[in-house]
Chain A
């Protein structure tokens, strides 16, 4: 049985390698900057309505549907639904127990076709399904609860798996698998439990991978640490989409993820060379513009989000931190980097195929307004009203960005 399984794995692996990924050869230290009007075709600020019912902390997860912004706020343990103009629509309250009680909503998924929100809480095996008006519809138990997952509209579920469980060291598991009707459908990227367990001893908490929306219903990006490839996953396929090449000084040594030579000691490599890039994340695609961020110890220590736009056509690399606001966006921040933690925590949190999204706290918005008063900025009516009626303690503001096509 085991031989059969491994053979199957080899087949699926060889299937992956057939597709040719796009090579992104970049030196992150040499990225370009610009002003807001040079980089973006549109920068829109959408203040989220602040009422007693809708008051929340910060956007821990964002999804954007045709009509709504759907927001997870872990501090109030709730999912909030706002209309696209920022008006409050509905709220799904998680357990009233405090955040340490183990009923924390830790992530949600959207099915745009059935217009459903599915969420899971820590300490529960169920996925709870709600509609966009915040009413509960269903409750299902998936195969397992410990994985990161993505719901496809056809009801297949893709899982990112980092569980090592109580299995024997030489048993094989898969990094990615897909279930259909709660039955195993496809499995990709086999790994032995031993390798994963050894990596868990590294002392670096980077074992979680991530699934990012691509702005369409049928495919998502998948990434994980120590791997410079960005994968594209659909209910039926799993292909490498991008392959990064960095300058030698930033590149992990060959076999870093798998070679037992590094076991239990990977964190030391990062201490010795804080410039090593060990992870790619927050991948979004808008036309030719590919958004991503990189992680190294150096940029984490310096609080630099290390976030970029790569234009597939021109090969230009834009550094998000290097974009300065101008009159086109009323001199307001593009991201809250340096004045708040929204961007360093969540980066661009969603891409709906038309825009990428981030958010700014009202504290950051008002501080920026104060600091730029001498520039006499002209605000759109929405913001004019916002600054008039709201305060530093109001709900965050959604920042909706559309980069220019030819960057």
Chain B
């Protein structure tokens, strides 16, 4: 049964230590001490964890609060002397106790001795002045009562959370309680508008909140572990409401943005509609991002949502949609649920992207090819996404059904001009292409999950569980693509090679994919009943994938004489491709536990999973050379060892080392493609002898959680290393004109090693919060490849490193300093060693200051530097500034002045490399503009008081 979890115990002790002090500036009169004991004298005992709060009598201002310690004692420091104060004690099941006093000026200390509280049971209903303690324990749940905290009338939940001891709201929006990540934030026990934490914490006004509850949820698979959740309990009369945003802005260069959203909620139903349009690169990929960006935010200083100055090209995203959630039972929780959710998202994006690039390609033997390319693409894409989910859970199991559909439509064009030079920069060939592309696609997916896992609140008698999980996915999709490709290829060096293509494509494809996953948790119990078999757990799994694809491609070439498109008999084709992929496996696991009670607990779990893969692929085509049927049977075992070391009161470390083998099978376009020669510079040819590759990977994970209650440090490291036999490597053959033909060939020797790590630490000293977040990603790979029939081994190394410091002071100031470095380094071994390098470093600084309650100032500067082995460094700085003024009673209206890219330096850098080439260039990008925007936030929580 549940015991007071050590985590909650720790949390309470933090609160005992942290005496949160409120109020305005403290002066030298704040040097008094108050102490006393909470006592039930009728029953002769002291009350631990009683809520004790000190107020100024005048104005009822909360000065500080604590929970009494194990001896019923409380002890407040830094209290004002010589003025009238009031202490209020409350404890569940007892009448509130209140006492007025002054701390004597001379002694600067007062001992209130025993504060006697009386039980409230059996007493007649009296005229009781309702008192709300700031903090209280309710069983295992720690509760903060919102009404006890006096904040600005426009404060939201996030502003309140920042006030609570042990709670950290991180710069990236994550919330931790004593260093442990808050898994979910619920509102009245339910996800709030899709579950995005910030939608709840940045919109719900503090005044609509009854309580913030912090509690632990045991982890089903690992009883030692638990997750921390926060529930925001709304006031009884605030369970119905709406909030939203209506905003628009206009600026120089015809820059504009507009957005509107409305969110309506009741105890059982939530509904929201949201829409946005801009030409300032504020692109949302889902409805949650739109909702998050339309949040009201409270009074705290925060670094605002910025347009994406990194994004290439100019975008005009237009998007909108709705979300819906309905609970059929009012008190859904972990054990029972009956909920329907649905959301619809439509986007219409217009994008123009212009880029100029230069590529240096080293062909070995002192030969090199240089290319310059100009690309212009324009696209208009519309997509509709509808997702829904019905979730039912009770003590006997759970069922989830989720249907969804997508309709996509895109119209785009591209213009590409490229030229290829030899080592002496003499033009060998050039091309110009024009492409038009219309694609209409739609698909339906359907997912059903079922398990019969019993979750009984009370203990159960031991019986071999026959728990199984079923997960079925169905996907049906259809795509129509019409394309026009006009390409001219000319070579001054070899005019005989000049070519002109005018080709039209009409391609249709249909896909049906099905996937069934089945897991039987206790195979042993089924066959061996109660036999122990040395404590080995046996689980059966089977993953089955069935994919079917039909293609019907019609291709025509324009006859220069008749001006008609004549059927291209080679590229016109009908085909069907089917794959059957079944992975049955048995997972043997055994755990060894070692522990000394109250000292440590260590556990090692060893897993071995022999798994087989049966893979059949069959292609039926009108082209005989494309007809094939291959079947493979592979043994793809997995194994792992997990180690967990829990040193009570100090730290919790988990290590895991896993091995997994897997195979990948060549696709039709690698085995026997229909070669389209209109793509003049890049011809992909087939290799019918291509074999599947076999990958073996070892991964390692390490996580460290500190159990210390004050300013904990958490970090994790993970690594991955592997090698692939029969790696599907690229073999390229370049001719003098710069054209290249590619084959996929099997080559051994591909190896990789990647690592990433992150570290978080926060410091909270009085009203200052400092957060440090650092992360790194490193990747080293050896890639075998052939270039002009010579085998090379390239070693590529890339890295990405970030350090961020967030600092905030009260509600007044928020700052962020960040540094990031990403690098790419490639070395090719051959007769002559070739080396490519490039790096991007950015330094950013942003700050936001609340000058007054209504006025805030924000600014951010980002310095970028890109260096490359092939050319000189590019430096640029983006500097943005904004002024934000809120007005009307509830701060419902906002005027904002924004100046973006003040230095007019923004540049989009294209920089990448591969085994034997490096590409660098620039693209068109959003640049300097000034904008004035106006927003109105309609908000109402609770019904009209009658």
Contact flags A332-354 to B (C-beta < 8 A → 1, else 0): 00000011111010000000000
CB closest chain-A residue, reference B597:
A58
Give A97 Cβ to nearest chain B Cβ, in Å.
Answer: 10
Contact flags B509-549 to A (C-beta < 8 A → 1, else 0): 00000000000000000000000101100000000000000
Partner of A75, one of B2, B71, B534, B597: B597
Tell me which residues across on chain B come within 8 A of A396, comparing CB atoms: 597-598
Give B187 Cβ to nearest chain A Cβ, in Å.
Answer: 24
The answer to whether A363 and B461 touch (CB under 8 A), given A30-B43, A371-B69, is: no
CA gap between A324 and B38 in the complex, in Å: 12
B9 lies within 8 A of chain A by Cβ = yes
B70 lies within 8 A of chain A by Cβ = yes
CA gap between A339 and B10 in the complex, in Å: 10
CB closest chain-A residue, reference B596:
A57
B649 lies within 8 A of chain A by Cβ = yes
CA gap between A98 and B532 in the complex, in Å: 13
Tell me whether A324 and B45 are in contact (CB under 8 A): yes
Tell me whether A303 and B3 are in contact (CB under 8 A): yes
Tell me whether B139 and A302 are in contact (CB under 8 A): yes
CB closest chain-A residue, reference B459:
A205
Give A378 Cβ to nearest chain B Cβ, in Å.
Answer: 17
A353-374 residues at the B interface, CB under 8 angstroms: 361-364, 367, 371-372
Tell me whether A338 and B9 are in contact (CB under 8 A): yes
A392 lies within 8 A of chain B by Cβ = yes
CA gap between A238 and B729 in the complex, in Å: 85
Give B331 Cβ to nearest chain A Cβ, in Å.
Answer: 14
Tell me whether B532 and A362 are in contact (CB under 8 A): no
Interface centre among A56, A270, A323, A340 (most CB of B within 10 A): A340
**At the interface, is chain B mostly helix, strand, loop or mixed?**
loop
Give B465 Cβ to nearest chain A Cβ, in Å.
Answer: 14
B128 lies within 8 A of chain A by Cβ = no
CA gap between A407 and B43 in the complex, in Å: 14
Tell me which residues across on chain B come within 8 A of A338, comparing CB atoms: 4, 9, 48, 70
Number of interface residues of B (CB under 8 A): 38
B305 lies within 8 A of chain A by Cβ = no
Tell me whether A301 and B649 are in contact (CB under 8 A): no
Tell me which residues across on chain A come within 8 A of B648, comparing CB atoms: 363
CA gap between A56 and B3 in the complex, in Å: 23
CB closest chain-B residue, reference A99:
B593
The answer to whether A75 and B461 touch (CB under 8 A), given A300-B1, A324-B72, is: no
B563-619 residues at the A interface, CB under 8 angstroms: 592-600
Tell me which residues across on chain B come within 8 A of A58, comparing CB atoms: 596-598
The answer to whether A301 and B461 touch (CB under 8 A), given A58-B598, A325-B71, is: no
The answer to whether A57 and B599 touch (CB under 8 A), given A32-B43, A322-B43, is: yes
The answer to whether A303 and B2 touch (CB under 8 A), given A100-B532, A203-B458, is: yes
CB closest chain-B residue, reference A323:
B45
The answer to whether A301 and B40 touch (CB under 8 A), given A324-B70, A324-B72, A363-B598, is: no
B50-87 residues at the A interface, CB under 8 angstroms: 69-72
B44 lies within 8 A of chain A by Cβ = yes
B435-492 residues at the A interface, CB under 8 angstroms: 456-462
Interface centre among B46, B534, B598, B600 (most CB of A within 10 A): B598
Partner of B596, one of A56, A322, A372: A56
Tell me whether A271 and B592 are in contact (CB under 8 A): no
CA gap between A300 and B599 in the complex, in Å: 24
A380 lies within 8 A of chain B by Cβ = no
A55-83 residues at the B interface, CB under 8 angstroms: 55-58, 75-76
Tell me whether B593 and A361 are in contact (CB under 8 A): no
CB closest chain-B residue, reference A267:
B458
Partner of B592, one of A55, A98, A367, A393: A98
Tell me which residues across on chain A come within 8 A of B456, comparing CB atoms: 203, 267
CA gap between A323 and B48 in the complex, in Å: 11
Contact flags B297-336 to A (C-beta < 8 A → 1, else 0): 0000000000000000000000000000000000000000
Tell me which residues across on chain A come within 8 A of B139, comparing CB atoms: 301-302
A287 lies within 8 A of chain B by Cβ = no
Partner of A32, one of B44, B48, B649: B44
CA gap between A301 and B1 in the complex, in Å: 6
CA gap between A56 and B599 in the complex, in Å: 10
Tell me whether B598 and A203 are in contact (CB under 8 A): no
Tell me whether A319 and B598 are in contact (CB under 8 A): no
Give A103 Cβ to nearest chain B Cβ, in Å.
Answer: 11
Give A245 Cβ to nearest chain B Cβ, in Å.
Answer: 20
Tell me which residues across on chain B come within 8 A of A32, comparing CB atoms: 43-45
CA gap between A324 and B271 in the complex, in Å: 53
The answer to whether A363 and B599 touch (CB under 8 A), given A32-B43, A324-B45, A341-B3, is: yes
CA gap between A116 and B178 in the complex, in Å: 50
CA gap between A393 and B600 in the complex, in Å: 9
Tell me which residues across on chain B come within 8 A of A76, comparing CB atoms: 596
A378-402 residues at the B interface, CB under 8 angstroms: 392-393, 396
CA gap between A84 and B3 in the complex, in Å: 32
Partner of B458, one of A30, A271, A324: A271
Tell me whether A33 and B46 are in contact (CB under 8 A): yes
Tell me whether B459 and A303 are in contact (CB under 8 A): no
Number of interface residues of A (CB under 8 A): 53
CA gap between A344 and B4 in the complex, in Å: 10
CB closest chain-A residue, reference B461:
A205
Partner of B461, one of A101, A203, A300, A339: A203
The answer to whether A203 and B599 touch (CB under 8 A), given A31-B43, A33-B45, is: no
CA gap between A372 and B16 in the complex, in Å: 13
Tell me whether A322 and B2 are in contact (CB under 8 A): no
Tell me whether B649 and A392 are in contact (CB under 8 A): yes
CA gap between A202 and B458 in the complex, in Å: 11
CA gap between A303 and B140 in the complex, in Å: 9
Give A402 Cβ to nearest chain B Cβ, in Å.
Answer: 20
Give A336 Cβ to nearest chain B Cβ, in Å.
Answer: 8
Tell me whether A200 and B461 are in contact (CB under 8 A): yes
Interface centre among B4, B596, B600 (most CB of A within 10 A): B596
Tell me whether B458 and A392 are in contact (CB under 8 A): no
Give B143 Cβ to nearest chain A Cβ, in Å.
Answer: 15
Partner of B598, one of A297, A364, A371: A364
Tell me whether A297 and B70 are in contact (CB under 8 A): no
B122-145 residues at the A interface, CB under 8 angstroms: 139-140
Tell me which residues across on chain A come within 8 A of B9, comparing CB atoms: 338-339
CA gap between A300 and B460 in the complex, in Å: 15
A405 lies within 8 A of chain B by Cβ = no
CA gap between A50 and B71 in the complex, in Å: 30
The answer to whether A392 and B46 touch (CB under 8 A), given A205-B461, A363-B648, is: no
Tell me which residues across on chain A come within 8 A of B592, comparing CB atoms: 98
A94 lies within 8 A of chain B by Cβ = no
Give A266 Cβ to nearest chain B Cβ, in Å.
Answer: 10
Tell me whether B43 and A33 are in contact (CB under 8 A): yes
Tell me which residues across on chain A come within 8 A of B458, comparing CB atoms: 203-204, 267, 270-271, 297
Partner of B4, one of A34, A303, A362: A303
Give B362 Cβ to nearest chain A Cβ, in Å.
Answer: 60
CA gap between A4 and B32 in the complex, in Å: 82
What are 27 sample pairs from A and B whose C-beta atoms fall under 8 A apart?
A31-B43, A32-B44, A33-B40, A34-B44, A55-B596, A57-B597, A57-B598, A58-B597, A75-B596, A76-B596, A100-B534, A100-B535, A101-B534, A203-B460, A203-B461, A204-B459, A205-B461, A300-B2, A301-B2, A303-B1, A303-B4, A323-B45, A338-B48, A363-B599, A364-B598, A393-B600, A396-B598
List residues of A whose CB falls within 8 A of some B CB.
30-34, 38, 55-58, 75-76, 98-102, 200-205, 267, 270-271, 297, 300-303, 319, 322-325, 331, 338-342, 344, 361-364, 367, 371-372, 392-393, 396
Q: A101-B535, A302-B139 are in contact. List 7 more A-B contacts (CB 8 A).
A: A57-B599, A75-B595, A267-B458, A324-B46, A331-B71, A362-B599, A392-B649
List residues of B whose CB falls within 8 A of some A CB.
1-4, 9, 40, 43-46, 48, 69-72, 139-140, 456-462, 532, 534-535, 592-600, 648-649
Return the 5 tightest CB-CB contacts between A and B, nearest first: A33-B45, A58-B597, A361-B598, A322-B45, A100-B535
